[in-house]
């Protein structure tokens, strides 16, 4: 049985501690610590509502923190929807993956 490292090497995937630069890609995209924190808090709120937490206190919290404007139009629509479907709730629960990536 191959180890993950051996498997990656067999596919030509780098296993270096620091990934190599992507050839032809030079654009940097940086976010400030504040931007990352705001995005993380918004994702946490959206995930919480997806898991059944009442949306109104989450929206009020976002407004109190002055970050409501940073939520995406899709997130705002979900949070303001009084009767989201199970499919919508499930879709927003998966935003926890994006939150974990930011953290």
Q: Going by C-beta distance under 8 Å and a sequence separation of 6 or more, which residues neighbour residue 92?
A: 46, 47, 49, 50, 75, 78, 84
Give residue 5's pLDDT.
86
Residue pair 101/39 in contact (Cβ under 8 Å)? The answer is no
pTM of the model: 0.70
| 1 pLDDT tier (thresholds 50, 70, 90) | low
Q: What is the pLDDT of residues 17-69, one digit of tens each?
A: 887 777 877 777 788 889 999 999 999 999 999 999 999 999 999 999 999 99
Distances (CA, A) of 14 to 2, 23, 101, 103: 16, 14, 20, 24
Average pLDDT of span 68-89: 95
């Amino acid at each position: 049985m191959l180890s993950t490292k051996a498997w990656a090497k067999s596919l030509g995937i780098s296993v270096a501690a620091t990934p190599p630069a992507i050839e032809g890609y030079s654009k940097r995209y940086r976010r400030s610590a504040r931007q990352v924190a705001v995005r993380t808090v918004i994702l946490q709120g959206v995930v919480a509502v997806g898991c059944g937490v009442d949306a109104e206190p989450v929206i009020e919290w976002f407004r109190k923190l002055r970050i409501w404007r940073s939520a995406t139009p899709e997130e705002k629509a979900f949070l303001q929807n009084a009767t989201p479907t199970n499919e919508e709730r499930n879709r927003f629960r998966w935003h926890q993956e994006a939150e974990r990536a930011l953290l």
